[in-house]
Structure 1
């Protein structure tokens, strides 16, 4: 089903000027206007293609990005970091090839790409290095009985433990954490709304209903702020609504850097 009432604008594909350096995993992009060798933030972004995260980063100040694509399904991204040392090795390689000592390391992912974020954060050393995390409509988990319930579903909570921890650190202003979710109901695994509801309950937070426009003419339905934590719910239960959130990345990055 596709809803036709709201517009679904898309960013124009462009190739911002800068260095593109292939890494053992993914591509490092350093915008042309980033000329200093210190004080530069590095974002790892998963499952968003290359040009769109690069465009979003080029609009930020002193920021570079490593883009990684691994195929469909969060499992393909989780498997990338079964070796907990791989993430640190990628940072070292990015610094060596660019000649930049990155001051802060951030994570971002859309949809299935959030599987990589979860796996990276499950490593204590990597967790400590991460300052900010952006999960775009991609915090999922399974159902206890493999299917949703007739009313409230029982979801598997083990995959959500690291999000709970990072959220608590964000609420204490030790980290910065943004989660967005839509009304899409996959059916075979828990939706991003179901996981957001669970996380908010565990954080003792309640979503506030809102009706206002978000980035790229998306329609915000709920919002929760606490310290460095922001959880935003958006209207839409179709594929274009899901893609709307990816194209909202420039706006989300502005929120993330506040």
Structure 2
């Protein structure tokens, strides 16, 4: 089966690879590399206090189904509205490896997993044509219509998520005005990077600082973050403390983005701040929790403005980077599920019935 071969090849490659650089990446697209596969945590870290989240009921899902560009996982029932509308989240880069986290997010949506290569250049190239994502949406809708027997299946609410190199796909999609208007939620898990200013005129170096980040490269993310802070969208960013060799880290890129929209970032003590639960050993897989003298992983920075939420984690190793892949479910559960549920309740209240 095609989807099974795809999953096995992804898993085998991740197990076999150390850090790999992609020579295809163009100058304007920093390479973000695939790292060794780390075991997923038994439970993802809590990104928001339980009191701020709706408790989402469990949802049963069907099997993965193949598409020409990836595969999708749909709920078993009750996810297509009477008018054919379907909520969809596209995940770029190793989404199937976070299958359990996606399922446990409580989001009654179709999850689409797409992989286009190792470096961010491959993901940017995949969306060089502005029409590419539209064709993907059409193919997904037709496949869902065939699988469910429903007519007029179309995307209702749309989310984009990425880990690692997948940010380049999200950036390209958001740069097309039609798609920008459709996308309501963006989740970037250790998945935002840029070049430094005038990087071609001086020797390459690491950790040049957030003030040296070329914010123009992140234009679509800056715009989306501003809209999220104003309540028009929802955006979640998590990042590690990894320092790449010659381009802006996810820490620097995130700080530069927040500065561009005048949202403050504050350092926190995760042991003392109840709104930032630490990653204690009883909440994560032993292989992850045992690292470090403290025996736990913890957050070090946060920013919250409207529907924009940023969580910065300690950790500078390859496995720290991989941990962020498994944060996607908790990010959805913490902020996307409540927002989309509130929208449903508002429609019901104003119209007397769900449209």
TM category (shorter chain) comes to: 0.7 to 0.9
Match of 1:20 in 2: 64
Alpha-carbon distance between aligned partners in 2 of 1:111 and 1:150, rounded to the nearest angstrom: 18
Deviation at 1:249, TM superposition (A): 2.1
1:181 pairs with one of 236, 239, 254 = 239
Match of 2:328 in 1: 249
Pick the structure with more helix per residue. 2
Q: After superposition, what is the alpha-carbon deviation per residue over 1:224-253, rounded to whole angstroms, capped at 9, x for unaligned?
A: 111111111100011111111112222122
Alpha-carbon distance between aligned partners in 2 of 1:225 and 1:177, rounded to the nearest angstrom: 10
2:253 pairs with one of 195, 208, 230 = 195
Match of 2:310 in 1: 231
Q: After superposition, what is the alpha-carbon deviation per residue over 1:59-118, rounded to whole angstroms, capped at 9, x for unaligned?
A: 223211110111211111111111111111211211111124332010000010111000
Change (3 A) 1:120 1:58: same
Is residue 132–residue 256 contact of structure 1 (8 Å, CA) maintained in 2? Answer: no
Deviation at 1:195, TM superposition (A): 0.8
- Structure 2 stretches lacking a partner, 5+ long: 1-37, 43-59, 146-152, 271-277, 285-295, 339-355
Is residue 34–residue 63 contact of structure 1 (8 Å, CA) maintained in 2? Answer: no
Match of 1:4 in 2: none
Is residue 57–residue 63 contact of structure 1 (8 Å, CA) maintained in 2? Answer: no
Pick the structure with more strand per residue. 1
Aligned CA-pair RMSD? 2.2
Alpha-carbon distance between aligned partners in 2 of 1:34 and 1:110, rounded to the nearest angstrom: 29
Q: TM-score, normalised by structure 2?
A: 0.65
Alpha-carbon distance between aligned partners in 2 of 1:17 and 1:254, rounded to the nearest angstrom: 16
Change (3 A) 1:234 1:36: same
Change (3 A) 1:124 1:35: closer
- Structure 1 stretches lacking a partner, 5+ long: 1-7
Q: TM-score, normalised by structure 1?
A: 0.87
Alpha-carbon distance between aligned partners in 1 of 2:184 and 2:117, rounded to the nearest angstrom: 26
Alpha-carbon distance between aligned partners in 1 of 2:86 and 2:254, rounded to the nearest angstrom: 31
Q: Matched residue of 2:199: which SS? A: coil
Alpha-carbon distance between aligned partners in 2 of 1:252 and 1:95, rounded to the nearest angstrom: 25
Q: Does 1:166 align with 2:224?
A: yes
Aligned residues: 247
Q: Matched residue of 1:248: which SS? A: helix
